[in-house]
Structure 1
Amino acid sequence: MAMTLRNGDQGQAVRDLQRQLLAAGYRLSADGWYGESTESAVRRFQQSHDLVADGIAGPKTLQTLRAGGADPRLMTGADLQRAADLLGVPLASIQAVNAVESRGSGFLDDGRPVVLYERHIMYRQLEKAGHAAAAIASRYADLVSTVRGGYAGGSAEYIRLANARRIDDACALEACSWGAFQVMGYHWQALGYASIYEFVERMQRNEGDHLEAFCRFVLSEPALIKALRGRKWADFARGYNGAAYRENLYDVKLARAYEQFAKVAA
């Protein structure tokens, strides 16, 4: 699991982070305690590399520290500000949504965008395309089904996708969620993309395009954009995650994250 360090953490991993920051020219003590000075140094480092400046040393920040420069595919502070302007909300709201609702990274280590193939969506898309979905499901139950499941995770999802594309290319791409915010491919038309292939091509570019797809999705759902603008976090979490949002405390996490980011901006 990718490491994330934040204010209040302590130990060798924090000390290693502090030493990396010292080597990068930031003044702080390598005492193994992630306090205000470490959080401030992390935030300044993030700002200087146009990363999301939240003061949390997540995988992207740690990777940039090790590499000495940011991956151009990573989400930037400018991307978040554009999203806030597009949606008509404070930057802190978008920062909160990014912190809670995104997967943390929109790309696999091999450079491909994160996908999750949904076999029950494939069944539905095949029916819409005029295929005999039930007959296909009887032959390929792991790829086409009326019930969700069969997940492999990570890069193995691309094996499932490749096999599904042999059944119907467009339907298979539409049956995947894509990128950092896991926007479903079948939304492509409602979100203003010319085709599923344009949507996929955009998802292959960078996380800024992932965030743009998320913004288009929110704008296409009146209840979602109303909840986000009104900071009605339970309503937003319910609309974005479904009824199970309570189990994961998404609304509580969003509210807390917003308060933290708004405090920093004040």
Structure 2
Amino acid sequence: MEKKLSDSQLHELAMSFGYEYASVKAIVEVESNQRGFSEKTGRIIIQFEPTWFKRFKTDWQKDTVNKTWQANKVGDQTAEWAAFNSAFASSPNAAMKSTSIGMMQIMGFHYAEIGFKTVGAMWDFAKLSEYNQVILALCWIKTMPQLSKALKAKDWPKVAYYYNGSGYKTFSYDTRLARAYQLAKKQTNA
């Protein structure tokens, strides 16, 4: 299977899960700029979250060797992978749970909700293709009735809230989703 997702595949996935193509395309655009893998390295796109790592590895302060992750902010993929690898060396499962991955940036800790036995199995599935990454996200959205309903209604503030948390306005997720939706809708009707 090709790693890159085609528009026809995205359309097929959106329809099969009961969502409008332009709505799903908007999330893909805002979350990852339509990329599931780094063009430079071929690695899956990630965002390591130190706050989550501290929740999953409660004794994190005892590890005095693997500390690079502690200084991580939202950064380029080189910085994200350095932080992730540092955390992974300390606790593989906690690191994978604490990282959003792929085209639609699904947090690793959602693995069980989506139907995986381990977080590593979810990562392995996502690393195969962007198609698989979108499947993960749409499966996760289906587990959250409020988010699913908001996505169908194109209620972008609610989508942003349920998808990105209460701080969504900090990064203007709602307005960015609305703009991306309008653009995708226009391109679809062109």
Same fold (TM over 0.5): yes
* Cα displacement (A) at 1:263: 4.0
Secondary structure, aligned partner of 1:239: helix
Deviations 1:11-35 (A, max 9, x none): xxxxxxxxxxxxxxxxxxxxxxxxx
Change (3 A) 1:140 1:79: same
Residue identity in the other structure for 1:226: K
Matches within 5 A, 1:1-266: 72-108=2-38, 109-127=40-58, 132-136=59-63, 141-143=67-69, 149-151=71-73, 153-266=76-189
Separation in 1, partners of 2:31, 2:81: 22
Separation in 2, partners of 1:244, 1:208: 28
Secondary structure, aligned partner of 2:69: coil
Matched pairs, number:
187
Structure ID, larger Rg:
1
Separation in 2, partners of 1:102, 1:110: 16
TM-score normalised by L of structure 1: 0.62
Bigger relative contact order, structure 1 or 2 (CA pairs below 8 A, ≥6 apart): 2
- 198-207 vs 165-174, which moves further: 165-174
Aligned alpha-carbon RMSD (Å):
2.5
* Cα displacement (A) at 1:204: 1.4
Secondary structure, aligned partner of 1:116: strand
Separation in 2, partners of 1:96, 1:231: 10
Deviations 1:112-141 (A, max 9, x none): 1112222221221123xxxx34434x6655
Change (3 A) 1:232 1:107: same
Given that 2:66 and 2:86 are in contact with CA atoms closer than 8 Å, whether structure 1 keeps it comes out as no
Given that 2:108 and 2:122 are in contact with CA atoms closer than 8 Å, whether structure 1 keeps it comes out as yes
TM-score normalised by L of structure 2: 0.83
Given that 1:79 and 1:211 are in contact with CA atoms closer than 8 Å, whether structure 2 keeps it comes out as no
Separation in 2, partners of 1:161, 1:249: 26
Residue identity in the other structure for 2:42: G
Q: Select the structure that is richer in helix.
A: 2
The share of aligned pairs that are identical, in percent, is 25
Separation in 2, partners of 1:248, 1:118: 16
